[in-house]
Amino acid sequence: MAEHMREIDTGTTDLLARVERGVAVLTLNRPERRNALSPEMLTALADVLAVVADADDVRALLLTGAGKAFCAGGDVKAFAARGGEGGGTTVPHEERITRQQALQRATTGRLHAFPKPTVAALPGAAAGAGLGLALACDLRIGQPGTVFATAFGKVGLSGDYGATWLLSRLAGPARARRAMFLGERIDAGTAERWGLLDWVVDAEVLAGFALDTAAELAAGSPESLAAMKQNLLDAEHHDLAAAMDREVPRHLACGVTENHKEAVRAFVEKRPPVFG
């Protein structure tokens, strides 16, 4: 319904954004280039992620790509036109490093640490830096034609946007080495077995299924979901004892919220809870 949707001005057609059913829907929008990353797209993505992280009407995030791809990663045709990724610039090397480090933290890094649940819907390929963006989301939904590829070695690069770190943690270090070194295309069935896809659905229902999944998350208790996200992030960096110690204050804080009280009333009354 109209009252449940608002458009977000991203400043570029390379990224589309709206809020619908409590979900910030971000669409990488260069379908003619398989949604290859552009400077405008990356800058807009960083800016929009920062805004929707604090938006009261956003309780979940859905990242997808327009057309038949999720994101092909870096724009290799643009690299070739300027004589390689580092060509055509007078920016000093150290400054280029600093700029890209900041941009990666503001995109892949912010997605990974996003305080609300995130979903990636993959209508096709996620490659290179696009692989990093997809794997930074909490949940991933593909269709039978979805493929993953590191792709870096094919163009003489080593990898960026967190793809190596994320792939190692989701698929395991041995599979990450195989994927990085050989650059093989990982089909949807293999990706599901490796833990890179949570669902594989028919192509024609992908968009609706992904929005429904994100909206279901958005309808949950925001306090408990935010605390769960922090628990999951802690699990990556702490041993069991430290992680359990950090769980307790969050768990008890959730236990005094109105949403918790509503949930237990709903449980007793055998009805779905309605979270505020």
Where residue 82 falls among pLDDT bands split at 50, 70, 90?
low
Please answer whether residues 59 and 89 qualify as being in contact, where contact means their C-beta atoms are separated by less than 8 angstroms. no
pTM beyond 0.85: the answer is yes
For residue 1, is pLDDT > 50?
A: no
Fold match between 2-218 and 222-268? no
Per-residue pLDDT band at 155 (split at 50, 70, 90): confident
- pLDDT at residue number 276: 86
Mean of all residue pLDDT scores within the chain: 94
Which CA distances in Å does 252 have to 17, 113, 229, 245, 272? 35, 22, 16, 12, 22
pLDDT of residue 256: 95
- Asked if pLDDT for residue 75 goes beyond 80, the answer is no
* Phi, psi (rounded to 5 degrees) for 66: -80, 150
Domain ranges of the chain: 2-218, 222-268
Backbone angles phi, psi at 210, to 5 degrees: -65, -45
Among 36-40, 86-90, 162-166, the minimum mean pLDDT is found in 86-90
Assigned CATH for 2-218:
3.90.226.10
pLDDT digits (tens, 9 = 90+) for 178-198: 999 999 999 999 999 999 999
Q: Is the pLDDT of residue 9 over 70?
A: yes
Q: Find out whether 27 and 17 touch, Cβ atoms under 8 Å.
A: yes
Q: Is the pLDDT of residue 263 over 60?
A: yes
Residue 37 has pLDDT above 70, yes or no: yes
**What's the pLDDT at 154?**
84
Each residue of 104-127: pLDDT tens digit? 999 999 999 999 999 999 999 999
Instruction: With beta carbons less than 8 A apart as the criterion, state whether 64 and 207 touch.
Output: yes
Contact assessment for residue 72 and residue 33, using Cβ atoms and an 8 Å cutoff? yes
**pLDDT confidence bin for 89, thresholds 50/70/90:** confident
Alpha-carbon gap, residue 276 to 262, rounded angstroms: 9
More confident residue, 82 or 51: 51
User: Locate tokens 């941009």: which residue?
Assistant: 103
Is the predicted pLDDT of residue 77 greater than 80, yes or no?
no
User: What is the percent of the chain where pLDDT is above 90?
Assistant: 88
> What confidence tier does 2 reach under pLDDT thresholds 50, 70, 90?
very low
pLDDT at 83 over 70: no
The CATH number, out of the four listed (1.10.12, 1.10.357, 1.10.10, 1.10.101), of the domain defined by the range 222-268? 1.10.12
| Digit-coded pLDDT (tens) for 210-240 | 999 999 999 999 999 999 999 999 999 999 9
Q: Say what the pLDDT of residue 244 is.
A: 97
pLDDT-above-70 percentage for the chain: 95
Residue 36 pLDDT class (50, 70, 90 cuts): very high
Using the CB atoms, write b or e for 233-256: b if 16+ within 10 Å. Answer: bbeeeeeeeebeebbeebeeebee
| Token pair 């698929």 in the structure block, residue | 171
